[in-house]
Amino acid sequence: MSDFIASSIAGAAAIILGNPVDVIKVRLQTGARFVGSTTAAFETWTSPFKGAAAPVLGHSALAALLFVGYNRSLEYLESTPYNQPIPHPSLTNVWIAGAVSGLACFVVSAPTEIIKCRAQVYDHRYTSSWKVMGDIWRTTGVRGFYHGGVVTGLRDSIGFGWYFWAYEASKKMMGLESETVTSLVAGGIAGCVTWASIYPLDVIKTRVQTQTQMGMGMGMQGQLLPCAQQQMPLLGVRGVSQGAWEHAKGIYRTEGMRGYFAGFWWCMGRSFFVNAVQWALYEYLMRKLNPARTGSKDETFGPQDQGYNL
């Protein structure tokens, strides 16, 4: 229960802090570039927070599912009793546990991502996550919330495998005395490693999930940002939903390799900051809520227990 509470709070805090930059990332991924600027412009003062409602609620549930799933999977792989410390887990098991829990998050992440991305690329002052959600429900039902679900599940599984692997490996290599500083630095590194490993998949996912706004009978059709409309659909076939593979080929044909990394550096900066805060807050709350599991690096484990195995 402690990991559920800690991860939910940490996840919500991370999304709130990182949403303005995420708006820029998503708009750049869909081809939104404005004259005189290398990033997507904000139309109003509320634009940096477009699409925040779905991630705040969804990411809290996602983070809880992710961390609880990871902890239980790692306990199983390491043959460790429930709620007991794992001072030196195998990094291979860490990656597998992260990948398994990441794949399970697809149930929450796919609907959250499609609502968030569509809210962020609509060019309409009254657009909100709730209106996008209602629009999807009216036109395509439950199935619409899982549009692009395969590439989303693949992205989450690979990405979260590297997420936990990079976090544990970074903690080992740094060997810092302060638990808070260690969590901040290792969390930031883990976030950057994760996004670097799956960024092209994320670009494809974003294109797939936002393409249906053009000529697909959506209630808010025609409200995309003008520059995003010029970019989508990539294959020039209006009114026809394209799959991930078609978008992958289309990106390469129209933009080359650079197209797979649109908004990459914005994402890197956001990832370091957001994941540093999320991990530090999560570890802090876990130490307060469940000291039996986390223990103290100085009091619970000796130097011989602080290594990791491959």
Q: Is residue 309 part of a domain?
A: no
User: How confident is the model at residue 185, as a pLDDT?
Assistant: 94
Higher pLDDT, 273 or 31: 273
User: How confident is the model at residue 237, as a pLDDT?
Assistant: 44
Q: Is residue 215 part of a domain?
A: yes
For residues 252-261, one letter each, b for 16 or more C-beta atoms within 10 angstroms of the residue's C-beta and e for the rest, the string is: eeebeeebbb
Longest pairwise C-alpha distance within the chain: 63
In 3D space, the residue among 78, 59, 73 whose CA is nearest the CA of residue 16 turns out to be 59
User: How confident is the model at residue 96, as a pLDDT?
Assistant: 97
Q: Is residue 308 part of a domain?
A: no
Three-state DSSP state, 90 = strand
| pTM of structure | 0.80
**Average pLDDT over every residue of 151-174:** 94
Q: Is residue 32 part of a domain?
A: yes
User: How confident is the model at residue 163, as a pLDDT?
Assistant: 97
List pLDDT tens digits, range 69-111.
Answer: 999 999 999 999 988 888 889 999 999 999 999 999 988 899 9
Q: Which of 25-29, 55-59, 174-178 is most confident?
A: 25-29
User: How confident is the model at residue 14, as a pLDDT?
Assistant: 76
Please state, rounded to an integer, the average pLDDT across all residues of the chain: 77
Q: Which of 62-71, 185-194, 212-221, 246-255 has the lowest mean pLDDT?
A: 212-221
**Average pLDDT over every residue of 37-50:** 50
* Confidence class for position 123, pLDDT limits 50, 70, 90: low
Give the domain CATH number at 202.
1.50.40.10
- The string of DSSP codes covering 29-52 is HTT---TT-SSPPPSSTTGGGTT-
Domain ranges, residue 138: 2-300
Q: Is residue 234 part of a domain?
A: yes
Higher pLDDT, 266 or 190: 190
Strand partners, 309: 90
In 3D space, the residue among 192, 198, 262 whose CA is nearest the CA of residue 227 turns out to be 262
What is the count of structural domains for the chain?
1
Q: Is residue 135 part of a domain?
A: yes
Q: Return the sign of the alpha-carbon dihedral for residues 297, 301, 304, 307.
A: negative
User: How confident is the model at residue 291, as a pLDDT?
Assistant: 80
For residues 123-147, one letter each, b for 16 or more C-beta atoms within 10 angstroms of the residue's C-beta and e for the rest, the string is: beeebbbebbbebbeeebeeebbbb
Phi and psi, residue 41, nearest 5°: -80, 155
Q: Is residue 305 part of a domain?
A: no
User: How confident is the model at residue 214, as a pLDDT?
Assistant: 41
Residues 20 and 42: their CA atoms lie apart, in Å, by: 10
List pLDDT tens digits, range 287-302.
Answer: 888 887 765 443 433 3
DSSP classification of residue 213 = G
Percent of the chain predicted with pLDDT > 70: 71
Q: Is residue 306 part of a domain?
A: no
Q: Which of 40-44, 111-115, 121-125, 298-302 has the lowest mean pLDDT?
A: 298-302
